[in-house]
Structure 1
C-alpha cells in the first residue's frame, strides 16, 4: 500500500485507559548565560563530510560516521584517515531530508560485531524508513540486510525520524516521522507514520509490545502521535527512555516514552503551521500524553543524549540537546525527575548542530555540524 496524497485536517478521537498529565517546563527564548559552565576546548577533527548525521565509537579508538548523502565513513581520529565502508543500502533515497541516517552498535558488539543502519528507502513517489544490520569485520560490513521497513510507502522527502536506541532488555527502538504531508496518519495505528517502533535485534516483534493484541494496530508500534522524533536516549538513573521531537513553528518537545501511549500530534501542539495557520486549538486533551519540556519558538532539536561521563561531572544525568535552527546545544538540568533550568552551549560555533554523543571511556563530547562541509568537533574540559 502506498499513501500518495496530502491528507486533510481530520481529527480523530482516540480514548486511552490511562491518562498522563505531566508538569511541562516551557522555554520561551530561554538563552541563559553560562557563568557556571565548566571551561572547555573545541577541536575540529574532520571537515569533509557532507551533512553528517550520526557517529558510533568502535573499540579500537576509531569511529563510524554517517553522511546523509549516503556514505558510511570509517575514521581514525589519531591519523585523520577515513575510508568509505558503505554497504549496499537497498533502495537508498538521498534527496532533501532523505538519506543515510543512524549508525548504532549492538549492545553486545564485543561479542556479535553487529552494526545497525537506518536510511530512507524507495523513490520520491514511494518511500519510507528502512533499518538494516550487518557484521563489522574490522574493515567493512558484511552480510548486511534489511530487517524492517516502515509502511506504507508515501511521497516526498521529509520527516523520517531514523534514530536508534536500545533498551536494557536489548530490544531496539527506531523513531519514525509523519512524512510531513501525512500528519493525521500519526493518529492511525494501522501504519507506522509518526510512531516509535520496538523490535528485537533480528527485526521480529517482541511478544510484549504494548499494542500487539490490538488487531487494528501495527504490532511493532511502541508509541504513536509523534511528528518527527530525531533524538532518543536512555536515562540510566530514571530507568526510562526520552525522545526529542521537532514541532512545526513552535512546540518542539522532550517526551518521556511510555509504551502504548499517544503523544497527541496533530491533535495537540504548542506550535502553529509554517504559514502561521493554527493546526489545532488544543495544547492538551484528556487521554493524550503531554511533553516533559517544550520550546516555543522552535530550536529544531535534532538529537538527544543523557550525559554520564567522567569529564564533565557536574553535567552528570543532565540532557544535552543539539539544535539545528538555534545553532546551539541546550543543557537541561535533570533534578528530582524533572527537567528544569536551561543552559546554552557552543553558540560560538555558529553552526547547525545535528548530533551530540559522548566517548564511552573518556567522557569527551563529539558534535556533528549539519553542513555540506560538515565537521566533527571534539569537546574536552579545559
Structure 2
C-alpha cells in the first residue's frame, strides 16, 4: 500500500477537544491513499494560482476559482482562463477576492455570487456581488450588499457564502480585527452572519427585523472570523468553522438569533501573552452559545464541506474541515450534534489548506494557500 496520509485522532469527549500534539496539471499525485474507511486518489487539476481562495462549480463540470490578490479564473479540464469583468478589489493581507458560489438555480438564471473586500488603504469593507458568465467574461455585475462599517484594511473579512434550502443566502463577516468588541455591537455587521434574499434584500423573517437595536440583516452575531460554513443535507443544520485567537478555533452550530460570545467569551488566549483574551469575561456564559467543538491544537480553519451522496459512502454526513496553520484536513463524525471522532487527512502534504468543497458529482476539491498554489481533486481510488 502507498504511503498513508492520515491519522486517527482520539477525542476527549468531556472537553470536546482534540488532544494531539509544483507538479504538472492533471497529475495523479497519489494513486491510492489509505484512510480509515476509504481508499482515495489525489489529483492535481490545475496549477499556477496565486493565493487562491475559493472554488465554485458550474453545471457542465467547469470550475471557477478566485485568487485573493484579485481575479476569477475559469478552469476547463486542465486549462484555466482569467475572466474579464471581475470586481475591483482592494487586496492586502487577508483582504481581496474571496468566496465564489454558483446559484442553485444557475441553469435558469445564470447567477454567480462573489464576496470581496473593497475600499482603499485607509478603510475597506466586505461586499457581495453577483454576475453572469458570458464566454470569458463576467457580465451584468451587480453589487448586492456591503457591510455597514468601513475599517482599516487587512484583517478578518470572513467571508463565505451559503445558499440555504429556504431560498435565502448567508454571508459570513469577520470582526475586522481592529476592535473585537464590535462583534457584540448589534448595529454593526462586523462579527456576524447576515441573511439575505438572492437580490440582496432582507428576508421578512430575519430574527431581528422588528428590533431597532439590531441591523436587520443579522442572522447570528458574536463571531470572530468564520471561513467555513455548510448546511447539513440530512438535518438542515448550519455548521461553521471559526478562527479563534491563540487556540479557541471553533466548530459552531449556527442558529438564528443566537449570540456566539466573541469576544466576551472565548476558549482562546492572547497572541502575545498567552493569558486569557483581554476582552473576555469568561469561557462560558448562559446567555451565549458555546462551540460544539474546539480544535486543539490550532487548526486555523478555512473551507468546510459536508459529504453527501454515495461517492464516499463511508463518509456520508461527515464534515471535512480545512486547516491553514495546521496544514491538514480533519474529517469529523457527528452524532446528535456532537463530534464523536476525528481523522487527520493530508497532514503537511499540500501545505496550508484554504478551501475544501464537494462538487455536484461527489468529488472533493481542495485549494492550498501559497503563491504557486493548485486546485486538487480527491476521488475514490477504485
Q: TM-score, normalised by structure 1?
A: 0.89
The answer to whether 1:193 aligns with 2:190 is yes
Partners of 1:290 and 1:42 in 2: how far apart? 36
Partners of 1:265 and 1:249 in 2: how far apart? 14
Partners of 2:210 and 2:83 in 1: how far apart? 41
Partners of 1:24 and 1:112 in 2: how far apart? 46
Which segment drifts farther, 271-280 or 124-133? 271-280
1:242-290, Cα deviation, whole Å (9 max, x unpaired): 1110001101001111111000000111110111232125111110011
The answer to whether 1:104 aligns with 2:95 is no
Structure-1 residue corresponding to 2:371 = 372
Please show how residues 69-88 of structure 1 align to structure 2 within 5 Å: 69-77=69-77, 80-88=78-86
Match of 2:207 among 187, 205, 210: 210
1:152-179, Cα deviation, whole Å (9 max, x unpaired): 1011301000100011111010000001
Partners of 1:144 and 1:255 in 2: how far apart? 33
Structure-2 residue corresponding to 1:334 = 334
Aligned length: 354
Which segment drifts farther, 308-317 or 325-334? 308-317
Please show how residues 153-232 of structure 1 align to structure 2 within 5 Å: 153-232=150-229
Which segment drifts farther, 227-236 or 289-298? 289-298
1:187-222, Cα deviation, whole Å (9 max, x unpaired): 001110100000000000011100111102110000
Query: Are the aligned partners of 1:47 and 1:375 in contact in 2 as well (CA < 8 Å)?
Result: yes
* CA-CA distance at 1:302 after TM superposition: 0.5
For residues 310 and 84 of structure 1, do their structure 2 counterparts lie closer, same or farther at Cα, with a shift above 3 Å needed? same
Which segment drifts farther, 66-75 or 328-337? 328-337
* CA-CA distance at 1:28 after TM superposition: 2.5
Please show how residues 216-255 of structure 1 align to structure 2 within 5 Å: 216-255=213-252
Partners of 2:38 and 2:298 in 1: how far apart? 26
Partners of 1:350 and 1:373 in 2: how far apart? 11
Query: Are the aligned partners of 2:82 and 2:136 in contact in 1 as well (CA < 8 Å)?
Result: no
1:70-99, Cα deviation, whole Å (9 max, x unpaired): 11000112xx22111142414x11111011
Q: TM-score, normalised by structure 2?
A: 0.89
Structure-1 residue corresponding to 2:134 = 137
Structure-1 residue corresponding to 2:31 = none
The answer to whether 1:258 aligns with 2:259 is no
* CA-CA distance at 1:336 after TM superposition: 3.2
Partners of 1:86 and 1:63 in 2: how far apart? 16
For residues 281 and 163 of structure 1, do their structure 2 counterparts lie closer, same or farther at Cα, with a shift above 3 Å needed? same
Q: CA RMSD in A?
A: 1.6
For residues 84 and 292 of structure 1, do their structure 2 counterparts lie closer, same or farther at Cα, with a shift above 3 Å needed? same
* CA-CA distance at 1:137 after TM superposition: 3.0
1:302-351, Cα deviation, whole Å (9 max, x unpaired): 11111003221100000100000110000001123322111000115141
Q: For structure 1, which runs of at least 5 residues remain unmatched after alignment?
A: 1-22
Please show how residues 299-378 of structure 1 align to structure 2 within 5 Å: 299-347=299-347, 349-361=349-361, 363-378=362-377
Please show how residues 118-133 of structure 1 align to structure 2 within 5 Å: 118-133=115-130
1:87-132, Cα deviation, whole Å (9 max, x unpaired): 2414x11111011001111111110010001001111311110000
Structure-2 residue corresponding to 1:20 = none
Partners of 1:281 and 1:261 in 2: how far apart? 18
Query: Are the aligned partners of 1:46 and 1:375 in contact in 2 as well (CA < 8 Å)?
Result: yes
Query: Are the aligned partners of 2:303 and 2:357 in contact in 1 as well (CA < 8 Å)?
Result: no
Q: For structure 2, which runs of at least 5 residues remain unmatched after alignment?
A: 1-13, 22-33
